[in-house]
Amino acid sequence: MKTWVTKDLACYAVETRFEDYPGEVIGKAKMFILDSIGCMLGGCQTSLGKAIVTPIRSMGGNGEATIVGGGGKVPTIQAALVNGTTANALDYDDTLLGIGHPGASIISAALAIGEWKHASGRDLINAVLIGYDIGNRIGKAIQPSYERLQNVKGSGTWFTFSAVVAAGKMLNLDLDYMLNALGVAGATAPLPCAQKWGWDIEERPIHWVKEPTGWPAWTGATAAILASHGFVGNRYILDGDNGFWIMAGSDQCDFEEMTRGLGQEYEIENMTIKPYSSCRWQHAALDCVEDLKKTYKLTPEEIRTITVHSFGWVKRQEIYGPTQMVDAEFCIPHTVSMVLLGYHPGPSWYTDENFKSERVLNLSKKVKVEIDPEMDRAYFEEDKLSARVEIVTEKGEKLERFVDIPKGDPLNPLTDQEIEEKFRNQASYSVKEEEIETVIRKIYDLENIDDISDLMVSLAGK
């Protein structure tokens, strides 16, 4: 028997208004937009960012939407692709549980179409919240079983729905067109590639497509634009035994999860804003290291060994001597070293100088990872990202910290001030100093901006 969730979700996307969201939820949306833009501004100046910004800019075309931090405008769907990619370049963007980074796809698609169509700030906030509400539910509903996860895992697959509903809302699609947009997006979504990132040592370095996040933004924006001109998609793309869940390689689907609490529970409240520019799985361990460093005023030279006790995915990141930024983002010895050496998260963690540094490499070799069976169970059964870190000093002292819920989690969130400081640091790589505070003010006042092009002018870059 088929379940008709596609139409329910399309109706929600079409009918939900800015006024339907509580004030505190709207406030959160503005902070997530600020954070995502900051990640774009930092990410576009990295080697990964330049590798996509440069060729896309060189292609030319109508200057419809801004490459954030990239100093120019390109066609709308290309801006969505670039900004969606740079938002995730540093692995510093928001996360949902342990299953992906939807904000990069949602916000880049909504910004690109919103600038092209001169949409308002209220339209942008509304579209972004709808993108989280619908996309996150689909993502959680189609997660594979533990056994299937060993072979197939995908995030960019379901991000496509996050992006297409946001893009469709910015285009003010009616129900028929929104259904078509969902169908086109689902039929063209990226493959579930996460188990072929290059995890194993013989396949390293990890590839730069990652989640992906830019391609779902591109696909979602394209699908919405085509649907707005009458392009027909399957209107039941999520439904039944042959629905998107099985196309995406999963072996199970909870259709009730896709609509549970829709309109009363807001998915943005389940999101994490990250304090470190690395894989989220590492963050409890990095919190431990940061706390031990500050409490005992540790210098790298005083440390003999660092043992991280955590779950299995963290052990998979016990890699030494990365030479490329994405590899380093998934290399816990490197990121622990960056914390101990006092580098600010962001591009400074992933410079050629640090990759070639003997001091960094020697410090990283002091880091070992041990799988804790209880933490491993809690990760897979409760989505918990816990860690315990033991540091043994050269004097033989044993120092220890345990973190059950890492910073940034909805149960342990960053403050608005911490998010602002993260934005300031990332923005400093791409935006003139005098523009940084202007951008923050504009985003705090986003619901009163009539045309978001006014915001985008400040984000073009130096």
Strand 65-67 with 72-74, pairing: antiparallel
Strands, sheet with 367-371, edge to edge from the N-terminal-most edge strand: 367-371, 303-310, 387-393, 398-403
In the chain, the amino acid numbered 126 is N
Question: Closest Cα to residue 26, out of 424, 415, 445, 441?
Answer: 445
Per-residue confidence (pLDDT) for residue 399, from 0 to 100: 97
Please name which of 208, 211, 232, 419 lies closest in space to residue 326, comparing C-alpha atoms: 208
Q: What is the C-alpha separation between 408 and 403, in angstroms, rounded?
A: 12
Cα angle for residues 300, 304, 308 (degrees, 5° grid): 90
pTM, full prediction: 0.95
Q: Is the pLDDT of residue 434 over 90?
A: no
Q: Which of 135, 103, 125 is nearest to 19 (CA)?
A: 125
Average pLDDT of the residues in 348-367: 95
- Judging by DSSP bridges, how do beta strands 95-96 and 271-272 pair with one another? antiparallel
Q: Is the pLDDT of residue 151 over 90?
A: no
CA distances from 70 to 35, 78, 426 (A): 17, 12, 14
Reference 92, options 335, 288, 432, 329; nearest CA is 329
User: In angstroms, rounded to a whole number, what is the distance separating the alpha carbons of residues 297 and 260?
Assistant: 48
CA distance 400 to 289: 9
Please compute the mean of the pLDDT values over residues 272-280 and round it to a whole number: 96
Torsion of CA 107, 206, 326, 249, to 10 degrees: 20
Q: Can you give the pLDDT at residue 1?
A: 43
- Is residue 294 over pLDDT 60? yes
Residue ranges and CATH numbers for the domains of the chain are 5-275+421-457 (1.10.4100.10), 280-403 (3.30.1330.120)
Residue 462: pLDDT above 80? no
What integer best gives the mean pLDDT of the chain? 94
Query: 31: which residues sit within 8 A by CB, 6+ positions away?
Result: 273, 416, 419
- For the record, the structure tokens of 451 come out as 């045309």
Q: What's the CA gap between 419 and 396, in Å, rounded?
A: 38
Instruction: Give residue-wise pLDDT tens across range 325-341.
Output: 999 999 999 999 999 99
Cα–Cα dist 83/68, whole Å: 6
SS3 annotation, 158-214: HHHHHHHHHHHHHCCCCHHHHHHHHHHHHHCCCCCCHHHCCCCHHHCCCCCCCCCCH
C-beta neighbour count of 270 within 10 angstroms:
14
Q: Are 86 and 53 in contact (CB under 8 A)?
A: yes
Query: How far is the C-alpha of 76 from the C-alpha of 84, rounded, in Å?
Result: 12
Residue 178 has pLDDT above 60, yes or no: yes
Is the pLDDT confidence value at 174 over 80? Answer: yes
Instruction: Point out the least confidently predicted range of 336-345, 378-387, 416-425.
Output: 378-387
